Structure 1
Amino acid sequence: MDVVLRPVGEADLGLFRRFAVEPGLVGLDWNGFRDAQAPGRQYAVDGFLGADGGRLMVVAGADTAGFVSWRSGTFDGRTNYWEIGIALLPEHRGRGIGWRAQAMLTAYLFEHTAVYRVQAATHPENHAEQKALEKAGFQLEAVIRGCEFRGGRMRDGYLYSRLRDDPAPELGNGSVTGTGSGSVRGPLAD
């Protein structure tokens, strides 16, 4: 089974609406109900492929498993980095899809943008995501104290990064390759 990253299509908007209104679907990242129509408006603007960020769908075999996202940030006001995220449907978690999708997204961003740094944040209690990020070539950099309000109180976060010069993880049968359809593919075999 392959893991494929592909651009968002109109048929995917229903999945984004679900993430906005189904408590717990995104696990620890649930922050309350959100505007379920916002994804349609954003799709109409740029198809989730904007200059400051975007989303790609994660497809495993024949199933849409979720999506990866990225957004621009800067520490010094001049040098940009990408911060990435992932949201997989519960039935697709724990199968090796997430780390591959994040590794493939990072390779895609390094290939098509000039950034030197890609970072990702996660929760201290999300051990599966910590392992996925490490498998995708990310290194833990810091504990960010009191960085988010979740579940009625301020919580800490973990910050991971991968630099352009860091070694890329082995995805199995070779490197990440683009296809004629604009997808990014990688093998799914544990």
Structure 2
Amino acid sequence: MVNVRLRPLEEADLPIFERAYSTRAGAGDYQWFGFSQPGRGLAEMGAIGPSGGRLTAVLDGRVVGSVFWFRREWGLPETSWCWEVALHVHAEERGRGIGNHCLKELTRYLFDHTRAWRIQAITDTGNTSSQKMLTRAGFLREGVLRAPQWREGRWHDHLIYSLLRSDVTPALD
């Protein structure tokens, strides 16, 4: 079993993530949106706040990726909101179960520490690794979002998955 620990984003993490996201190989085939402004601070990179945040994934003392969550509204903001989650595992760490472990830890954290009833995730229709990871973590596929994302010169279809508080079972352990 992968023993990844999640912790709040720290100032020392920023250069690590800047390097990781600065190339297509580092960002990954489905998250490369071109170059971004260098020198972003904690707030811009996703420090924890009322609308979401980022946690750093650490394995054996080294940063291996991060998990994110942000608020999505499906109606009145006071009552009809959920968390949307995403993650990034550094290129050299992929394929080892780190993402699956991080996703399970993040969903547990969000259900334990917020009032959210729903957590959702969206992935490119071509990203079969992400789809398998979401399913292993207990998320259910809900449907196709047609052309929601512009990336690399064209629109991409996505799949939407969800996990409800009532779905959570000991299988998340």
TM-score, L = length of structure 2 = 0.90
Relative distance call for 1:135 and 1:62 in structure 2 (3 A) is same
Q: 1:134 matched to which residue of 2?
A: 135
Question: Is 1:160–2:161 an aligned residue pair?
Answer: yes
Number of the residue aligned with 2:114? 113
- The letter for the 2-side match of 1:143 is V
Question: Any stretches of 5+ residues in structure 1 without a counterpart?
Answer: 176-190
> Does 2:101 correspond to 1:92?
no
Structure with more relative contact order (C-alpha pairs < 8 Å, separation 6 or more)? 1
Which position in structure 2 is the counterpart of 1:188? none
How many residue pairs get matched?
A: 169
Q: Percent identity?
A: 39
Q: 1:166 & 1:120 partners in 2: Cα distance?
A: 15
Aligned to 2:66: 67
Quote the Cα distance in structure 2 between the aligned partners of 1:168 and 1:34. 39
Runs of 4 or more above 4 Å deviation: none
- Ranges in structure 2 where 5+ consecutive residues have no aligned partner: none
- Distance of aligned partners of 1:41 and 1:9 in 2 relative to their CA distance in 1, 3 Å threshold: closer
Q: Structure 1: how far apart are the matches of 2:169 and 2:92?
A: 27
SS in 2 for 1:49: coil
1:43-102 per-residue CA deviation (whole Å, 9 max, x = no partner) reads: 69xx70111010001112232110000000111123210000001101111111101101
1:33 maps to which of 26, 32, 35: 35
CA distance in 1, matches of 2:25, 2:102: 21
TM-score by length of 1: 0.83
> 2:9, 2:42 within 8 Å by CA — same for their partners in 1?
no
SS at match of 1:51: coil
